[in-house]
Amino acid sequence: MEDQKPSSSNRRKFLINAAKVAGVGAVGYIYFTGYKNDVSEIAPPPVGKHVLLTQPYLYSIRYNEMKVRWISNLQCLSWVEIGETREPNQKIFSVTDGFINANNRIHEIVLENLKAGQQYFYRVASKQILEFEQEDKITYGETIYSEVFSFTTARQNQTESNWLVLNDIHDTPASFAHLIALNKDEPFDYVFLNGDMFNWIDNEDQLITHLINPCTKVFASQKPMLFQRGNHEIRGNFMWHLKEYFSSQQEQYFTFWSGPVFIIVLDSGEEVVDNGYDQFDTYREKQALWLESVMQSQEYKTARYKVVMMHIPPFYSFNAKGSNHCKKVFSPLFDKYKIDLVISGHTHTYGVHPPVKGQHNYPVIIGGGPVPGKRTLIKVKANREQLYLQMIKDDGSVVGEYTIKAGS
Ligand SMILES: [Fe+2]
């Protein structure tokens, strides 16, 4: 991506053009993201040839929906072409309040009303917006396309689920291909990124070259990529923009069904407190209130398996503020409402820790990383009879297993 960075003179020209388009002073670049019309201020994109900076990446595991994102280098009007054959021909736009979301670079299209268990073929398209000439006239430039990819929606009331977990990649993008390859050709529904994909976040190029592109090369254009931040994604000057690229959630903590498994995703927040903007104790306490209400729901009570995904584990972590607070506010609820499993990372020391009476009545699984010899792939397979978790080290050896029988 280095050759696409603007020179200072190009950057100056771009800012002038940006100000003309967006109607703002040339002190920054304001545009509308595809994400619920949020207005964001962000570094100017590269100037030059119109290109897609990423292939499309998927997120969402609902049976009747898929969400697609991609990034172009120039402002565009974008859409997805989708169909059930290898020549997709139905155009889907992102529409809010009667008009198509456009004049942006980070594109999000939600494909709705899909058939359950159906294979779809799709490609994404971005038409460059050259100029807003008059109030009702826009000049468009070249339209560029991605390759054609396919995905298959989940089946309705699916009774099985297979997912993969990666954690603590820490800016080592080659690890994605290496670790996913350990799954061999076994089927999986999605990949859950369980935090600390980066050391800290400086700019968009880092998000693209260290995460999005390594993942689309391996799986993310065809299988959903769900991402929960770790404490290292709360570091660096670009961290406030992370949600624009990876999340469609209103909150960083949420629940979803994965076949027979009810999954609760918690945001364990920051570990240390010397950055001047730490409000995470309050944030975790707010989550704990939400968590208890979730655990009192009918959905939770009737779930065959109850799994928590969170970056910082409630036990076996560091004697640090964030870890201790996670243990204090979340673990009593995990015990009280009898969760089946916690899957975490953070410590860089992989381990499968069974329940310990008087401490935690649930198993704690911790994936390792980020250096060779410590990296892991976690595989979870659940069906009506059991949930089976396997942890594979980066040399291919199995270093941990855990089985939960349904109803136990
Ligand atoms: Fe961490």
CA of 345 to the centre of ligand 1 (A): 7
For residues 206 and 238, the answer to whether their CB atoms sit within 8 Å is yes
- What residue segments make up the domains of the chain, in order of their start? 2-152, 161-405
371-392 pLDDT, tens per residue? 999 999 999 999 999 999 999 9
Q: What is the pLDDT of residue 210?
A: 98
Q: How far apart are CA 374 and CA 179, in angstroms?
A: 11
Provide, rounded to the nearest whole percent, the portion of the chain with pLDDT above 70.
Answer: 88
CA of 232 to the centre of ligand 1 (A): 6
Nearest to 53 by CA among 105, 11, 102: 105
CA of 272 to the centre of ligand 1 (A): 11
For residues 109 and 79, the answer to whether their CB atoms sit within 8 Å is yes
For residues 192 and 165, the answer to whether their CB atoms sit within 8 Å is yes
Q: What is the pLDDT of residue 134?
A: 77
Residue 6 in this model has a pLDDT that exceeds 50 = no
Q: How far apart are CA 284 and CA 50, in angstroms?
A: 43
Q: How far apart are CA 408 and CA 130, in angstroms?
A: 62
CA of 305 to the centre of ligand 1 (A): 26
CA of 267 to the centre of ligand 1 (A): 12
As a whole number, mean pLDDT of residues 218-247 equals 93
CA of 196 to the centre of ligand 1 (A): 5
Query: What is the CATH T-level fold of the domain 161-405, as seen in this structure?
Result: Purple Acid Phosphatase; chain A, domain 2 (3.60.21)
Q: Among the listed ranges 176-185, 264-273, 375-384, which one has the minimum average pLDDT value? A: 264-273
CA of 170 to the centre of ligand 1 (A): 9
As a whole number, mean pLDDT of residues 356-367 equals 97
As a whole number, mean pLDDT of residues 221-249 equals 90
CA of 268 to the centre of ligand 1 (A): 9
CA of 271 to the centre of ligand 1 (A): 8
CA of 233 to the centre of ligand 1 (A): 9
Query: What is the CATH T-level fold of the domain 2-152, as seen in this structure?
Result: Immunoglobulin-like (2.60.40)
As a whole number, mean pLDDT of residues 182-211 equals 96
143-154 pLDDT, tens per residue? 999 999 999 999
Q: What is the pLDDT of residue 275?
A: 76
290-342 pLDDT, tens per residue? 999 999 999 999 999 999 999 999 999 999 999 999 999 999 999 999 999 99
For the chain, give the number of residues: 408
Residue 52 in this model has a pLDDT that exceeds 50 = yes
Q: What is the DSSP letter of 356?
A: B
Q: How far apart are CA 40 and CA 127, in angstroms?
A: 21
Q: What is the pLDDT of residue 5?
A: 33
CA of 88 to the centre of ligand 1 (A): 41
272 — pLDDT class (breaks 50, 70, 90): confident
94-125 pLDDT, tens per residue? 999 999 999 999 999 999 999 999 999 999 99
**3-state DSSP assignment of residue 396:** coil
Provide, rounded to the nearest whole percent, the portion of the chain with pLDDT above 90.
Answer: 81
For residues 140 and 102, the answer to whether their CB atoms sit within 8 Å is no
349 — pLDDT class (breaks 50, 70, 90): very high
Q: How far apart are CA 282 and CA 254, in angstroms?
A: 17
Q: What is the pLDDT of residue 3?
A: 30
Residue 8 in this model has a pLDDT that exceeds 90 = no
Q: What is the pLDDT of residue 149?
A: 98
As a whole number, mean pLDDT of residues 274-281 equals 83
Q: What is the pLDDT of residue 46?
A: 57
Both tokens assigned to 198: 């980066």
Residue 36 in this model has a pLDDT that exceeds 60 = no
Q: Please measure the distance between the N-terminal and C-terminal CA atoms of the chain and give it in whole angstroms.
A: 52
CA dihedral 113, 147, 33, 309 (to 10 degrees): 70
Residue 22 in this model has a pLDDT that exceeds 60 = no
Q: Around Cβ 15, how many Cβ atoms within 10 Å?
A: 18
Check whether the bond before 354 is cis (ω within 30° of 0): no
